[in-house]
Chains A and B, each alone.
Chain A
Amino acid sequence: MEIRRVGVVGLGTMGAGIAQISVQSGFDTIGREVSDELAERGRATIERHLARGVEKGRLSEADRDAAIGRLTLTTSLGDLADCNLIIEAVLEELELKRELFAELERIARPDAILATNTSALSVSEIAEATERPQRVVGMHFFNPAPVLPLVEIVRGRESSDEAVDAAYGWAEQAGKQPVRCNDTPGFIVNRILIPLLNDCVRVLDEAAVTPEEMDKAMTNGAGWPMGPCALIDLIGIDVHVHASEALHGKLGEERMAPPERLVRMQQEGALGRKTGRGFYEY
């Protein structure tokens, strides 16, 4: 099926990033938020990022204008009725996503692909809220979505090959590097990275290592492009703790539980770059 028109539900950080990818790749895109103010905030985020692209010479002014011209905003889900692909990027709450998918099924054309950008919830459980879970897939983008190439294309229990292939094909057309995987907790990257980063944090205390030297060790010894402490600061301590709790809740391995040190940092409000203090000062 050819995807011409894309809907993005929720224009927060992830949704705005996904909408930006879509308009920059030439797709007519309609972004849905719950109020006009939030929709405009989403548009402002996209325009700001595109403007930065122009400043840095990655994007011409004409391309920027064309991209912005492909974006429409709405507060009504019904306006997504003629989209071929609808990507959901609302809050990570299962009940909310289930309510939303039930409604998307009602309003969307019968052949539309319905995708969730969830990182921590089960795609299959979200899909079960619809009558036809065959057309529901996961499309897990990484933050910042316009910058990081990976998209995990997640097969729910009932997802059809056609839906998975359509989502994969669209991600490729949008210049991304998609990979396919089953609907298992943490999918690929988070399943591996979360316990690994937690190990790094535990080693800080076990082996009396400073964050600077931990990062020096992993960049020089393991070839990581960025040290684990700098990476957790970038992700946000709270986001990482929440993701660890979710993964630990599902798989139960002790390494997945958030290390005490991170929980303490969260309580102290040292959330990483966004608060100016995490493992490092910013």
Chain B
Amino acid sequence: MAGRTVAREPKEIVARGYDVIALRYAEWAGQVDSPVMEWVRDLDARLGEGADVLELGCGRGVPATRELARRHRVTGVDISAVQVELARHHVPEASFVHADATELEVAPASFDAVVALFVFGHVPIGEQPGLISRIGLWLREGGFFLGTFAAGDAGEEIEADWLGAPMFFASLGGEAYAPMLRAAGLEPVRDEVVVQQEPGHGDVSFRWTLARAAG
């Protein structure tokens, strides 16, 4: 990832981007050879029936939110109004909030799981550590965090045309996250770098982490 610093409002770029590219993104994401369902099912199997699950960056709710909502009380959060609207339509059994995950007010120890798939890559690097430590506080003792982080180099960049709109990407670097998770009381129980083939973008690596809240 390029080391260029971003001057303009990255969150507005992300929100507007996902509003504009909703359909193209959905078609594209479906073609990505990504292990989402395998990790979501792994998390699901570790949770008791009817767990309270918070999903940050839930997008249109398919497939992850829908899968989790089969057995659990899921609250989905997304910064794009269009994505939230689609998610409400596709997964009526879950509840959804249109919000910026970094500004979310959540009571301590109120969730059994927090999920953040392909979210941190859209959060400015200065705000990522704070979000990770707050997730640690939101989780009940023994709760789980499931997330992905860009596995490449640290930096921020704006891609001018990502499936039809500008998009903001950020990473603290693949190795930065494990210590940060531990500092937030989140002990990785499964941690793997997975290369996924993105049609038209080539191979992209993500660090997948399933971590347990020590409490």
Question: Which A residues have a C-beta under 8 Å from some C-beta of B?
Answer: 10, 12, 34-38, 41, 75-77, 90-91, 93, 95-96, 99-100, 103
Contact = CB atoms under 8 A, between A and B. Distances in A.
A103 to B, nearest CB: 6
Given A34-B163, A75-B164, A96 B28 contact: no
A75 B24 contact: yes
B26 A96 contact: yes
Given A10-B27, A95-B86, 19 more contacts: A34-B24, A35-B163, A35-B199, A38-B31, A41-B200, A75-B164, A77-B23, A90-B30, A91-B27, A93-B62, A95-B62, A95-B90, A96-B27, A96-B30, A96-B62, A99-B23, A99-B26, A99-B86, A100-B27
Contacts of A34: 24-25, 27-28, 163-164, 200
10 contacts: A34-B164, A37-B199, A38-B199, A75-B24, A90-B27, A93-B30, A95-B26, A99-B22, A99-B23, A103-B23
Given A12-B31, A95-B60, A38 B26 contact: no
Nearest 10 interchain pairs by C-beta: A37-B200, A91-B30, A34-B24, A35-B200, A34-B28, A95-B90, A34-B27, A38-B200, A95-B62, A96-B26
Nearest to A90: B27
Contacts of B90: 95
A152 B22 CA distance: 31
Contact of A91 (B25, B31, B86): B31
Nearest to B60: A95
Nearest to A91: B30
B62 A100 contact: no
Nearest to B162: A35
Contacts of B163: 34-35
A34 B28 CA distance: 6
B214 to A, nearest CB: 34
Contacts of B199: 35, 37-38, 41
Contacts of B22: 99
Contacts of B164: 34, 75-76
Nearest to B164: A75
A19 B164 CA distance: 23
A10 B75 CA distance: 32
A122 to B, nearest CB: 16
Contacts of B27: 10, 34, 90-91, 96, 100
A35 B31 CA distance: 12
A12 B158 CA distance: 28
A247 B76 CA distance: 31
Contacts of B26: 95-96, 99
Nearest to A104: B23
Contacts of B30: 90-91, 93, 96
A76 B28 CA distance: 14
A99 B163 CA distance: 17
A270 B102 CA distance: 44
